[in-house]
């Protein structure tokens, strides 16, 4: 069986891709699907009980309902330094290879019904001297969800990202408004602008929360929209 896969990209780093990825995993699990999260390239790791791990990977694992024993399938590249992936990889003497990520994805797609793949940073983040995150999405052939971190500057970032996705013939299947700045001015006007200019459905608007909880946020996604999203992939 081959799963439905969705690639989660964002307007920037730190805009809520992990929160949205985990919320989507909870939401699809709630609809009865076997789900697993993947973070192909994670930059920034801590040692816990002598084992290196990354917070995003832990968050995705916690929201998945299919247990994966092989860490390399969920996270083929764990880089220790919290810097741009191609730099972290270079410092560690690692070369990020897209076919290895695809192999890992295919393993996950064979055991789950929905695979949520969280990108690193934004859509064009370099992964090596010659490849970037956009190449990775092309290699995986997945539709994308764009997480828009609602703050000043997000309109430009969102529209540039949508344009770059379309230029590659990739599908932007939906977007999520994530209220990361509780004091953002003209929020309604900004949301209206995005609704008008992004040529895909808005899947959810996530409020600002002191301690955002992915399971609670999952209730904000309409089951109908979620089913529609994967029925077309
Ligand atoms: N709706 C929200 N309300 C309040 N805080 C939020 C919200 N969404 C995200 N955050 C906080 O912003 C920070 C970044 O969120 P998150 O880790 O999901 O972003 P990301 O896009 O996955 O980042 P990265 O590029 O590092 O993977 C986290 O501390 C998270 O708790
Ligand atoms: Mg993240």
* pLDDT tens, position by position, 110-120: 999 999 999 99
> Which residue CA neighbors atom 13 of ligand 1 most closely?
14
What is the Cα–Cα distance from 112 to 153, expressed in whole angstroms?
37
Distance 94 CA to ligand 1 centre (A): 27
What is the Cα–Cα distance from 120 to 13, expressed in whole angstroms?
7
Nearest residue to 134 via CA among 107, 160, 104: 160
pLDDT of residue 39: 98
Residue 173 domain boundaries: 4-231
DSSP 96: -
Choosing from 39, 124, 224, 225, the catalytic residue is 39
Nearest residue to 187 via CA among 131, 138, 148, 231: 148
Per-residue pLDDT of the chain (233 residues; tens, 9 = 90+): 579 999 999 999 999 999 999 999 999 999 999 999 999 999 999 999 999 999 999 999 999 999 999 999 999 999 999 999 999 999 999 999 999 999 999 999 999 999 999 999 999 999 999 999 999 999 999 999 999 999 999 999 999 999 999 999 999 999 999 999 999 999 999 999 999 999 999 999 999 999 999 999 999 999 999 999 999 76
CB 126 within 8 A of CB 132: yes
pLDDT of residue 1: 55
Q: Write out pLDDT tens, residues 150-179.
A: 999 999 999 999 999 999 999 999 999 999
Alpha helices per DSSP H over the chain: 17-30, 55-63, 71-74, 85-92, 98-111, 133-140, 154-167, 187-197, 214-218, 223-231
> Which residue CA neighbors atom 30 of ligand 1 most closely?
16
The CATH code of the domain that includes 166 is 3.40.50.300
Distance 183 CA to ligand 2 centre (A): 22
Residues paired with residue 146 on neighbouring β-strands, in sequence order: 9, 175
Distance 1 CA to ligand 1 centre (A): 32
pLDDT of residue 2: 79
> To test the ligand 1 pocket, which listed residue (9, 14, 45) has its Cβ within 8 A of the most ligand atoms?
14
> Which residue CA neighbors atom 29 of ligand 1 most closely?
14
Report residues whose beta carbon is within 6 angstroms of any ligand 1 atom. 10, 13-19, 56, 121, 178-180, 206, 208-209, 212
39: annotated active-site residue: yes
CB 221 within 8 A of CB 203: yes
CB 24 within 8 A of CB 8: yes
DSSP 126: B
Residues paired with residue 176 on neighbouring β-strands, in sequence order: 147, 204
> To test the ligand 1 pocket, which listed residue (12, 16, 125, 217) has its Cβ within 8 A of the most ligand atoms?
16
pLDDT of residue 180: 98
What is the Cα–Cα distance from 96 to 89, expressed in whole angstroms?
7
Domain count, the chain: 1
Whole-prediction pTM: 0.98
135: helix, strand or coil: helix
Longest CA–CA separation in the chain, Å:
50
Distance 212 CA to ligand 1 centre (A): 8
Nearest residue to 107 via CA among 153, 138, 76: 76
46: helix, strand or coil: strand
Which ligand 1 atom is the nearest neighbour of the CA of 44? Answer: 26
């Amino acid at each position: 069986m081959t799963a439905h896969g969705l690639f989660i990209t964002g307007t920037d780093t730190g805009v809520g891709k992990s929160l949205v990825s985990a919320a989507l995993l909870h939401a699809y699990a709630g609809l009865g699907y076997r789900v697993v999260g993947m973070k192909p390239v994670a930059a920034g790791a801590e040692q816990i009980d002598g084992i290196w791990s990354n917070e995003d990977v832990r968050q995705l694992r916690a929201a998945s309902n299919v247990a994966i024993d092989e860490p390399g399938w969920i996270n083929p590249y764990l880089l220790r330094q919290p810097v741009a992936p191609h730099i972290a990889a270079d410092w560690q003497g690692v070369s990020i290879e897209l076919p290895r990520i695809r192999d890992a994805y295919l393993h996950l797609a064979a055991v789950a019904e929905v695979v949520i793949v969280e990108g690193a940073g934004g859509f064009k983040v370099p992964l090596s001297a010659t490849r970037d995150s956009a190449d990775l999405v092309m290699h995986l052939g997945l539709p994308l969800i764009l997480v828009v971190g609602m703050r000043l500057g997000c309109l430009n970032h969102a529209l540039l990202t949508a344009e770059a996705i379309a230029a590659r013939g990739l599908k932007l299947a939906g977007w999520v408004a994530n209220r990361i700045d509780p004091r953002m001015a003209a929020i309604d006007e900004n949301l209206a602008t995005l609704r008008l200019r992004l040529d895909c459905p808005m899947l959810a608007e996530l409020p600002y929360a002191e301690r955002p909880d992915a399971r609670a946020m999952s209730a904000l996604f309409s089951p109908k929209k979620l089913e529609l999203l994967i029925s077309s992939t």
